[in-house]
Structure 1
Amino acid sequence: MFSLFDITAKRASLDGDKVAMDEPGSGRSVTYSALDQNAAKTASFLAAQGINPGDRVAVLCQNSIAFFETLFACGKLGAVLVPLNWRMPANELRTLTADCTPGLLLFDEAFRETATALGVAKSAPLVSDAADDLVALRESFEPHKGRLSWPADDVWYLLYTSGTTGVPKAVVQTYGMALVNYINLGQAINLTSEDRTLNFLPLFHTAGINLYTLPTLIAGGTVTVLPAFDEEVVIDLLAAGDLDTFFGVPAVYQLLSLHPRFGEVDLTKVRNWGCGGAPLSDALVTLYQDRGIVVCNGYGMTETGPTVFLMDPAHVKEKIGSVGKAQIMTAVRIVDESGTDVPEGDVGEMWLKGPGLTPGYWNKPEATATAFTEDGWLRTGDLAQADEDGFFYIVGRAKEMFISGGENVYPAEVENILCDHPAVLEVAVVGKQDEKWGEVGVAFTMLREGAGQMSQDTLRAYCRENMAAYKIPKEFVFVGDFPRTAAGKIQKHLLKP
């Protein structure tokens, strides 16, 4: 198995004076040399706290440069970083800390109460206004003479899945996965050392670390870090032309499109717009196209590092709704229930294979065995189909599909059509039992502001014009918003038909 060289040390030697990361909120900025030195001093601090190779370091924080310095410090030391979901209450987080058993907990001052309630033996502030936070404490330490190479199959950090269908599992993330994601993403968007990107997605999800921050740092570009998504700040950065690449989940694109300045700001200065985490509706794709912006749908999982698919800009209009083709380091199969490849155009479960896949779930060998076939294919649980040109389309989750009157109904397809209605902002379709049809759909529907009154009959009539009868939801439930994960995904298991 190959190894990676110390990432920040190599970058510091190549272009040490270049700005690696900046924080508009705090005014903090670090060059690659400073990033490397800060990570090395942080590694010494961690070692002084008794952290050894393989030990876990939990982090409860919003986005900051200090987080990434700690991530690279763990690489130098051989420790394992565990970002925790700061939106979870302490009683939920205790389940995660009991699973990963951290030797140290670092936290933002805003989460001190939650951190204290977790009862981890050792803890320290990561970023605060006080003089006793990590950024200040590490200055008294000499830089750690870390490992020169990082074995590709060693564990770097753990990411707990968002839990849209149940209790979160910790997905192992290795150094090799980071490199493969850099290759898959980098060649897809032509990533270079001149690129500037924006970090605002939660760091306890793979997108916060890997789309596009970590690949940009490996490439030698510059990352602007926001504590969280703030549409005012993001609009200002876009208007200033300070970004070359941008990645967001559909909820981000939706919020930006609703901003009063969306129609005024020149957004064409961004070279590449990427989207993932959930399907971007055809209506939103078209809305951005009308502004001269080509948003490229992608697909990946925490288990895949995450980049697997990313649509190329040249085919977005022609292949609207597609997530593109599998990138260079990933193989794909679409199979039926017996594991046999389905004919071109048919729907089946998508299986993935390649060096960017996780080796498994932390402390859960049975879950790992269930997720993978004997010959190493990851069963994604996602339903997909490929067209005659090799472009892939995600139809939905296998567990979300329901059968109505003997016909398969894929909620993502129904949701996409309903989102084309001018009054509809977002939809989540779930199945429920029905005496006559076996199962029928229930469409939880969020209307656009100012849409006025909307009846079930109006939407049902719209559906009759645009989809087969068996796909039409039997019931429409109007909601003000949806239960969501921090990444903006709708938690369908919390919707009660």
Structure 2
Amino acid sequence: MIASLPDLIAKRAMLSPDAVAMEEYGSGRSITYAEIDQRAAQAAAVMAEQGIGAGDRVAILSRNCIAFFELLFGCAKLGAIFVPLNWRMPARELDQLIEDCAPKLLFHGTEDAGVPNLIAAPPPTIALGENYEASLEAARPRPFRDQWPASDIWYLLYTSGTTGRPKGVIHTFGMALANHVNIGSTIDLRSTDTTLNFLPLFHTAGINLHTLPTLIAGGRVIVLRGFDADAMVSLIEAKRLDTIFAVPTVYQALLDHPRFAAAPLGHVRHWSCGGAPLPDALVERYRALGVRVCNGMGMSETGPTAFLADPEDAWVKVGSVGKPRLLCSVRIVDEAGRDVADGEVGDLLFNGPAITPGYWRDEEATRAAFTPDGWLRSGDLAWRDPEGFYYIAGRRKDMFISGGENVYPAEIENILVAHPAIAEAAVVAAPHEKWGEVGRAFILPAGPSLPEDGELEAYCRARLAAYKVPQSFEIVTDFPRTAAGKIQKHLLPR
């Protein structure tokens, strides 16, 4: 493992100073690599003047903006630990995060200007905008470290809380480099690439897919404050985007946009998907447009890129997340920790330089997350086919046993969303006097027409074993979701 990295943004500024690093959609503002390096150094000086030193935490509560990355690189120069906070959380939940990471300084955007006043113990704050710009202008230049130890913590990302209290996932400098290799070698990342930054920056995909790897490579990142289907389609129409990463809900929203199908989709070299299971039906709808959406899988804890299907396999191995990426090692094991045979479902384990060393100040959770020999327990169930392609069966916590048979909700959900009247589905276990547990399906309709009574049960019985067919179907107007669009099943009634 490499011991240290050079100051990546300073190195990139030296290699391509005049190349545009980032631009803001709408405003037209852009910043070169030389400028972002200079501003990151000014941001580091501002933080140092506020008493921030190596190991101190600096939090940010903001929508997507260029300043986020100036502060990310500024913390790296200073040795401070950057902590993006979830702006969708109410103040009561933010209190937990503030208490856990104890930041000495908080930057916030204009949309969240009132939030610090609602936090129980807010740290000193700096508002992004005029105050931030004035601080940068007044900052006194000073030397900062030009080497970043690979094992040092760069930033913390708090888990989305689908299973309970959020935990601070440690991200190191070495993890960032490993993820750059894992995603870059898969999508053929180039210095001429332009990608789009729109997913929330308190989520690993917002930072790492594909923004940070693109900045390391010397490409251009267009920043949206948040997801905007019309803006995204406009950029595709203008042939501005070379690579796209999105979650399934975004891919569905693009299909629903009236101009998307007629856009020059072939200009986008690579389309990738993660964050939640990619339904087979969605793959086929994109296939009809000639677009190969590459299914992938990863976690905050894996850097995140662990799996991503190659374009040539996207239509051949529908449902697969592909093979482990270059710097990611994988095992599928039974309950005794023994490797299972091809075709058998088991627990998915990860190892490699992109894997987190653990959770911030939570030794118990860190110990529980790893096997005695150092493999990360993903919490996912998976299987591998004889050709070496991997498939995710679902979360172990989602699996239930009905009449003695293992039931994997992801399989049922994939069948349900292929129904033309269904946009999304979530299946959870409900207690049953005879069978122990049975499936309860929650359905988000694709339009105003709702399935008739008994239609969905008959549809499932024609495609699934009887014990897999949900005992009930409930229509919902939407699901409780995480920032990445994942359905929060633990909030659904049982």
Tell me the TM-score normalized by structure 1: 0.98
Which residue is equivalent to 2:471? Answer: 474
Opposite residue 140 of structure 1, the aligned amino acid is: A
Which residue is equivalent to 1:404? Answer: 402
Which residue is equivalent to 1:121? Answer: 123
Instruction: Give the Cα separation in 2 of the matches to 1:339 and 1:373.
Output: 9
Structure 1 gap ranges (5+): none
2:421–2:450 Cα contact (<8 Å) kept:
no
1:250 aligns with one of 248, 252, 271 = 248
Instruction: Give the Cα separation in 1 of the matches to 2:160 and 2:61.
Output: 15
Matches of residues 87-106 of structure 1 in structure 2 within 5 Å?
87-106=88-107
Q: Deviations over 1:1-22 (max 9, x none)?
A: 5101001100011000000000
Opposite residue 50 of structure 1, the aligned amino acid is: G
3-state DSSP class of the match of 1:466?
coil
Instruction: Give the Cα separation in 1 of the matches to 2:454 and 2:241.
Output: 45
Instruction: Give the Cα separation in 2 of the matches to 1:25 and 1:483.
Output: 30
1:4–1:149 Cα contact (<8 Å) kept:
yes
More moved, 412-421 vs 25-34: 25-34
2:292 aligns with one of 286, 294, 298 = 294
Which residue is equivalent to 2:415? Answer: 417
Which residue is equivalent to 1:16? Answer: 17
Matches of residues 184-195 of structure 1 in structure 2 within 5 Å?
184-195=182-193
1:155–1:174 Cα contact (<8 Å) kept:
yes
- Quote how far apart the aligned CAs of 1:456 are: 4.0
- Quote how far apart the aligned CAs of 1:126 are: 1.8
2:268 aligns with one of 267, 270, 273 = 270
3-state DSSP class of the match of 2:222?
strand
- Quote how far apart the aligned CAs of 1:26 are: 2.9
- Quote how far apart the aligned CAs of 1:353 are: 0.6
Which residue is equivalent to 1:206? Answer: 204
3-state DSSP class of the match of 2:323?
coil
1:303 aligns with one of 284, 294, 301 = 301
Instruction: Give the Cα separation in 1 of the matches to 2:335 and 2:346.
Output: 8
- Quote how far apart the aligned CAs of 1:234 are: 0.5
Q: Deviations over 1:94-119 (max 9, x none)?
A: 00000000000100121111122223
Give 4+ residue runs of structure 1 displaced > 4 Å after superposition.
none
Which residue is equivalent to 2:220? Answer: 222
3-state DSSP class of the match of 1:8?
helix
Matches of residues 352-371 of structure 1 in structure 2 within 5 Å?
352-371=350-369
Which residue is equivalent to 1:53? Answer: 54
Opposite residue 89 of structure 1, the aligned amino acid is: P
3-state DSSP class of the match of 2:378?
strand
- Distance 1:113-1:328 versus aligned 2 partners, 3 A rule: same
- Quote how far apart the aligned CAs of 1:136 are: 2.9
Opposite residue 378 of structure 1, the aligned amino acid is: L
1:44–1:141 Cα contact (<8 Å) kept:
yes
Which residue is equivalent to 1:79? Answer: 80
Instruction: Give the Cα separation in 2 of the matches to 1:33 and 1:76.
Output: 15
3-state DSSP class of the match of 2:359?
coil
Instruction: Give the Cα separation in 2 of the matches to 1:453 and 1:109.
Output: 41
3-state DSSP class of the match of 2:114?
helix
Which residue is equivalent to 1:172? Answer: 170
- Distance 1:34-1:58 versus aligned 2 partners, 3 A rule: same
Instruction: Give the Cα separation in 2 of the matches to 1:30 and 1:153.
Output: 30
Opposite residue 122 of structure 1, the aligned amino acid is: P
Which residue is equivalent to 1:163? Answer: 161
Instruction: Give the Cα separation in 1 of the matches to 2:326 and 2:389.
Output: 14
3-state DSSP class of the match of 2:113?
helix
- Quote how far apart the aligned CAs of 1:121 are: 3.0
- Quote how far apart the aligned CAs of 1:120 are: 2.0
Matched length: 492
3-state DSSP class of the match of 2:467?
helix
Instruction: Give the Cα separation in 2 of the matches to 1:350 and 1:317.
Output: 24
Instruction: Give the Cα separation in 1 of the matches to 2:217 and 2:33.
Output: 12
- Quote how far apart the aligned CAs of 1:159 are: 0.2
Instruction: Give the Cα separation in 2 of the matches to 1:26 and 1:7.
Output: 27
Q: Does residue 475 of structure 2 align to residue 484 of structure 1?
A: no
Instruction: Give the Cα separation in 2 of the matches to 1:199 and 1:349.
Output: 32
Instruction: Give the Cα separation in 1 of the matches to 2:26 and 2:365.
Output: 41
- Quote how far apart the aligned CAs of 1:143 are: 3.5
Matches of residues 148-159 of structure 1 in structure 2 within 5 Å?
148-159=146-157
3-state DSSP class of the match of 1:110?
helix
Instruction: Give the Cα separation in 2 of the matches to 1:362 and 1:447.
Output: 40
Opposite residue 213 of structure 2, the aligned amino acid is: P
Instruction: Give the Cα separation in 1 of the matches to 2:450 and 2:46.
Output: 59
Structure 2 gap ranges (5+): none
1:177–1:355 Cα contact (<8 Å) kept:
yes
Which residue is equivalent to 1:339? Answer: 337
Which residue is equivalent to 1:183? Answer: 181
Opposite residue 227 of structure 1, the aligned amino acid is: R
Instruction: Give the Cα separation in 2 of the matches to 1:345 and 1:198.
Output: 37
Q: Deviations over 1:115-161 (max 9, x none)?
A: 2222323111023xxx32x1332111134421110000000000000
Instruction: Give the Cα separation in 2 of the matches to 1:258 and 1:41.
Output: 43
1:43–1:143 Cα contact (<8 Å) kept:
no
More moved, 42-51 vs 18-27: 18-27
Which residue is equivalent to 1:319? Answer: 317
3-state DSSP class of the match of 2:177?
helix
1:43–1:144 Cα contact (<8 Å) kept:
no
Identity over the aligned pairs, expressed in percent?
A: 58
3-state DSSP class of the match of 2:428?
strand
Opposite residue 20 of structure 2, the aligned amino acid is: V
